[in-house]
Amino acid sequence: MSTILRLQDVYKAFGGNHVLTGLNFNVRQGEIVGLLGPNGCGKSTVLNVITGYCSIDRGAVEVRGERVSGLAAHQIAAKSVRRTFQLPSMPGRMTVEEVVMAASTRSHGLFSTLWRSAKVRRLEQETRERARQLLEELLLTKVAHLPAASISGGQKKLLGIACAMMEQPLLLLLDEPMAGVHPNLRAELVTTLKRINSQGITLVIIEHDMHFISETCSRCIVLDKGRTVADCLPSELETHESVVEAYLGKKPGRQYQVAGAVA
Ligand SMILES: Nc1ncnc2c1ncn2[C@@H]1O[C@H](COP(=O)(O)OP(=O)(O)OP(=O)(O)O)[C@@H](O)[C@H]1O
Ligand SMILES: [Mg+2]
């Protein structure tokens, strides 16, 4: 399997706050990788530096062997990279369906024109069908016509995934997709993400929910103090010395279990 994402010796500080301090990890094409670590260790910052929402001070980020650090967010998105946000915010006046349709770059500017050629109408119809299909997969059909800003936090998370999937990216980065989503929907979300992965989409998932991680991911990367402290199987997390130390600040022993600390 070829490497789709590589972070090499990445440093990022916000003033005196040194968040990423020589971060290295690789993701291979086709994997579902969990990105874990205690609150504030820099997980969302990692997604921000990969997607160009935030610059890096040193090091390199590569997507499919090409350096992307230094490029603008829209240039990185054009390399078939999509992401969701930990705290998604939605436009006040657009419906859920319109928000998903607007996530398609094919539609930009076209649907608002007064005069529509047959080609534009066909494109609009195809875009609407794709949006409806994704809304169904993400259990949002019932709220498709509501203002996007009015739906619940958990539904906004699912809507973020629908938007990110609109153009079938090669690399999809999800920031805590389960947070705020009802636990009863966990199994469906796991199935949906696996189906997305089976379409050839590589996934990197930030998540604190250990059950979700073990059901979904094939590998886990754990960050602490701005670096990778573990690169292991989900089943190895509970007993991995550096992981236990990262979460609890203790040497591992029988009485310390990561799952209990972060579930
Ligand atoms: N734009 C920013 N400006 C200043 N500081 C920032 C910025 N973004 C992140 N930070 C700081 O970087 C550190 C890491 O934040 P980050 O959001 O990446 O953590 P996280 O691992 O995603 O945490 P959580 O699990 O709580 O979501 C925090 O100390 C945060 O305050
Ligand atoms: Mg975060």
Q: What's the pLDDT tens digit per position in 59-91? A: 999 999 999 999 999 999 999 999 999 998 888
Whole-angstrom Cα distance, residue 142 to residue 135? 9
The CA-based dihedral angle spanning residues 45, 48, 49, 53, taken in that order and rounded to the nearest 10 degrees? -130
pLDDT for residue 54: 96
Q: In the chain, which ranges are continuous DSSP H helix?
A: 43-51, 73-77, 96-102, 118-137, 153-165, 186-198, 210-216, 241-248, 258-262
The secondary structure of residue 70, as a DSSP letter, is T
Q: Which residue of 7, 12, 14 sits with most ligand 1 atoms within 8 Å of its CB, as the best mutation to test the pocket? A: 14
**Mean pLDDT of the 197-221 span:** 95
Q: What are 114-167's pLDDT values in tens digits?
A: 566 787 788 888 999 999 999 999 999 999 999 999 999 889 999 999 999 999
* Residue from 199, 198, 202, 137 nearest 163 by CA: 137
* Ligand 1 binding pocket, CB closer than 6 Å: 14, 17, 19, 37, 39-45, 86
d(CA 56, ligand 1 centre) in Å: 14
**Distances from the Cα of 29 to the Cα of 45, 80, 200, angstroms:** 22, 13, 8
The dihedral through the CA atoms of 204, 35, 46, 98 has a sign that is positive
Question: Which residue minimizes the CA distance to atom 8 of ligand 1?
Answer: 45
CB under 5 Å of ion ligand 2: residues: 43-44, 86
Q: Where are the beta strands (DSSP E) in 15-103?
A: 17-28, 32-36, 58-63, 66-67, 81-83
Residue 259, token pair as written in the block? 């799952």
Contact between 106 and 127 under an 8 Å Cβ cutoff? The reply is yes
Residue 51, token pair as written in the block? 């997607």
Q: What is the pTM of this model?
A: 0.91
pLDDT for residue 120: 78
Whole-angstrom Cα distance, residue 98 to residue 168? 18
Domains and CATH numbers, the chain: 3-93+167-262 (3.40.50.300)
Q: State the ligand closest to the CA atom of 21.
A: 1
pLDDT over 70 (residue 256): no
Q: Which residue of 10, 44, 174 sits with most ligand 1 atoms within 8 Å of its CB, as the best mutation to test the pocket? A: 44
